[in-house]
Structure 1
Amino acid sequence: MPEYGPQPVERQLPTEEARDLLDLVREMARREVRPTVDADEEAGRFPRDTFRQLSASGLLGLPYPSEYGGGDQPYEVYLQVLEELAHASLTVGLGTSVHTLSCHALAEFGSKEQRSARLPDMLGGGTLGAYCLSEPTSGSDAASLRTKARRDGDEWVIEGTKAWITHGGIADFYTVLARTGEAGPRGITAFLVPGDAPGLTFAAPERKMGMRGSPTAQVHFDGVRLPEHNRVGEEGQGFAIALSALASGRLGIAACAVGLAQAALDEALRYLHQRRQFGRPLADFQGLHFMVADMATQIEAGRSLLLTAARLRDSGRPFARQAAMAKLHCTDAAMRVTTDAVQLLGGYGYTTDFPLERHMREAKVLQIVEGTNQIQRLVIARDLLGPEEG
């Protein structure tokens, strides 16, 4: 008898070590992540123990140097790990991507002393990070942020509010962008803020339509004092640091979108083989063949696009436009695929008896985070045409 339903994704992995790593992640996702995801999401419960296991296994620092506790893995491999995690749980996949984004500033722009002192705990010490750029009045227009950091003797004092912060209230450290000078992008500086810093408080988590197991909250800075060595990079370099991190972070979101879409397609394929109508399995009906063919093509195109961008990054070549393209295509595809998957199951797709209604709700946020898809179109067009005049 043939084996019906979804087949394992054919991976493009450069080494035997990378293949072993993906096998480890796939088994961990099957054994540790997938069994609890439905209950965690329904209860709004963050799976912190899962992230401790990921950290202990070296999976929270994969693209960073082993000198500081990282995994020395290229982005081509790291993104496929994210896809596997998001296939099992978008909360876990996206949380891993956010943590990696939170480490970027220190790993790429911190001094050697800062990296040696702090990165090992951030990459493999069981801690969890958050990234604080957006504010209540500055989302897409990130350069207009208002949170301020002023010097007071040998310290910095931060005042303001950040919004839509994944892991807000539960993170162990926060990478924070704050204004230290003139208006606009040149007056922004990056800081590393401990999660238990005096003056750091949090609003109640947002009540979201999806990803309820992943807390998203406002973060308030009420006179948070930091020593000079908590500044990351040069004063006024923060916006450049933020853009550098976001280009890589968009690839992480694209990989999560592909994993989510693949999970929805896999669930739909299983159902089409099991469900019978008019005396035949639904898998026999040509009209449904066309739907699953389109879904699979969108997923595979997105996977190829994000891995192409990853290889550009790994080779040290410009990749921001391709990262924006990957984020745009993969998240739009995830929205279409999850919607079609619900349709394929009919009424059952609309119930919580199957995970597809959750996948559909989760897919929507991926078109918004790390820059809305309208912003991705601006990034792509400006790279092709040059900046607007005037």
Structure 2
Amino acid sequence: MRRDLYNSDHELYRDTVRNFFQRDVVPHYEDWERGRIIDRGVYPLAARHGIFGLEIPEAYGGSGVADYRYRMIVCEESARVFTTSFNVTLGLFDDVVLRYLLELTTEEQKQRWLPGLASGERICAMAMTEPAAGSDLRGIRTTARRDGDAWILNGSKTFISCGTCADMVIVAARTGSGRSDFSLLVVEEGMEGFVRGRKLDKVGLHSQDTAELFFENVRVPAGNVIGDVGSGLSHMMFNLPRERLSVAAQSYTSARSIYEVTRSYASTRFAFGKPLVDQQHIRFVLAEIATELDVAEAYLDRSVSALDAASLTPVDAAKGKWYASELYKRTVDRCVQIFGGYGYMVESPVARAFIDSRASTIYAGTTEIMKEIIGRDLPDREVDGGEAAVASERA
């Protein structure tokens, strides 16, 4: 898998990651899926082996390694043993939540929060989505008003990953009258008025807990605001390239692993006196998948290098996100068909991927939103009405 992307240090890290998954994740994963929750005891183990919070600086208990290729290895090794829910959770923390805590916090906030996260003893979630505001962040209705040395927070959030187990939650709230006037507040376990709703029963990704959250006059200290007051929307936008690359990486690596297990199955499963792979239609389907995966891999490699060079644009990340997630969904569907009845049995990794893959085209921005972002960046076209029409298209 993708050996040309890595050097010897990465491959040593791969051995550590592979051993961790085999020892500390695979034996428990089915229990987690049945129980609809990941055992919190695994996070300190992951942190100890540099698999959780790798980029947290050494001063706060982490390793301080900022090289996305290490995250790619975690994605690959998780996909190899089909532990998708756990990988999505790691991606949520390392590629989403941690970015805000590293980039937007003060030294005092870092000292207060990062050591517990670096050790895996504390879990942090991100709460943006609301019942009436999904991809459209400007539709957020949760509010926070200043009251002396605190903010009074009211509202609700839904589809919040790690919402039931998080010790702290970064909440996006409207703090002014402007359409884009938002701020980010950290709500911590035990704050009065912070209520966790039901754990949502999802189609797939069962052990990756997702919940509703409610805030009823929660008094959030002013020292728990991260970034600049009123700049929450721009703060939320800055991390989108990495968040979308994360989904692309998870989607690609999962699709690749499902393809590999399906190719192996097609070589050993007989029909009409010969292996499935010797049936021309099956061979052609596998050839199509192999080609699409190689093309996606090349784009993903380029995106990883761009991210590490701080040059990955939101548009390029959007391209990778929608294409890889749709490829994942499409690949799994074709692989289920090749497996036949066995592909519909829940114990089959292909069946599990069938239900886990569907959300990848929705979270971190739907496929349609990704295409809208890309479309707005297309070169100007000559249309009737001249500049006014072009301006209208961009609005």
TM-score normalised according to structure 2 size: 0.90
Counterpart-to-counterpart distance in 2, 1:315 and 1:166: 29
Counterpart of 1:160 in structure 2 is 155
Runs of 4 or more, structure 1, over 6 Å off, are: none
Q: Is the aligned partner of 1:145 residue 2:140?
A: yes
From the superposition, tell whether residues 39 and 116 of structure 1 become closer, same or farther in structure 2 (CA, over 3 Å). closer
The CA RMSD measured in Å over matched residues stands at: 2.0
Q: Is the aligned partner of 1:179 residue 2:171?
A: no
Counterpart of 1:112 in structure 2 is 107
TM-score normalised according to structure 1 size: 0.91
Q: Provide the secondary structure at the position in 1 that maps to 2:16.
A: helix
The 8 Å contact of residues 38 and 86 in structure 2, kept in 1 or not, is answered as no
Counterpart of 1:237 in structure 2 is 231
Counterpart-to-counterpart distance in 1, 2:72 and 2:188: 27
Match of 2:98 among 76, 79, 103: 103
Q: Which moved more, 1:17-26 or 1:55-64?
A: 55-64
Counterpart of 2:353 in structure 1 is 359
Deviations along 1:232-272, one digit per CA (max 9) or x if unpaired, are 01111111111112221111111111122122112212322
Counterpart-to-counterpart distance in 2, 1:383 and 1:231: 33
- The amino acid of 2:231's aligned partner reads Q
Q: Is the aligned partner of 1:121 residue 2:123?
A: no
Correspondences of 1:1-390 after superposition (within 5 Å): 9-68=1-60, 69-87=62-80, 88-100=82-94, 101-185=96-180, 187-385=181-379, 388-390=393-395
The 8 Å contact of residues 63 and 75 in structure 1, kept in 2 or not, is answered as no
The 8 Å contact of residues 165 and 216 in structure 1, kept in 2 or not, is answered as yes
- The amino acid of 1:73's aligned partner reads A
- The amino acid of 2:333's aligned partner reads T
Once the two structures are TM-superposed, the CA of residue 274 in structure 1 deviates from its matched residue by: 2.5
Once the two structures are TM-superposed, the CA of residue 361 in structure 1 deviates from its matched residue by: 0.9
The 8 Å contact of residues 241 and 312 in structure 2, kept in 1 or not, is answered as no
Counterpart-to-counterpart distance in 2, 1:197 and 1:85: 35
Q: Which moved more, 1:72-81 or 1:30-39?
A: 30-39
Counterpart-to-counterpart distance in 2, 1:353 and 1:181: 50
Q: Which moved more, 1:153-162 or 1:254-263?
A: 254-263
Counterpart-to-counterpart distance in 2, 1:383 and 1:182: 29
Give the unaligned 5+ runs of structure 1.
1-8
- The amino acid of 1:145's aligned partner reads I
Q: Provide the secondary structure at the position in 1 that maps to 2:41.
A: helix
Identity of aligned residues (%): 29
Counterpart of 1:4 in structure 2 is none
Counterpart-to-counterpart distance in 1, 2:25 and 2:235: 32
Counterpart-to-counterpart distance in 2, 1:20 and 1:355: 27
From the superposition, tell whether residues 71 and 285 of structure 1 become closer, same or farther in structure 2 (CA, over 3 Å). farther
- The amino acid of 1:40's aligned partner reads W
Once the two structures are TM-superposed, the CA of residue 211 in structure 1 deviates from its matched residue by: 0.9
The 8 Å contact of residues 328 and 367 in structure 1, kept in 2 or not, is answered as yes
Q: Provide the secondary structure at the position in 1 that maps to 2:74.
A: helix
From the superposition, tell whether residues 50 and 273 of structure 1 become closer, same or farther in structure 2 (CA, over 3 Å). farther
Counterpart-to-counterpart distance in 2, 1:36 and 1:22: 21
Counterpart-to-counterpart distance in 2, 1:259 and 1:389: 35
The 8 Å contact of residues 58 and 123 in structure 1, kept in 2 or not, is answered as no
Q: Which moved more, 1:380-389 or 1:151-160?
A: 380-389
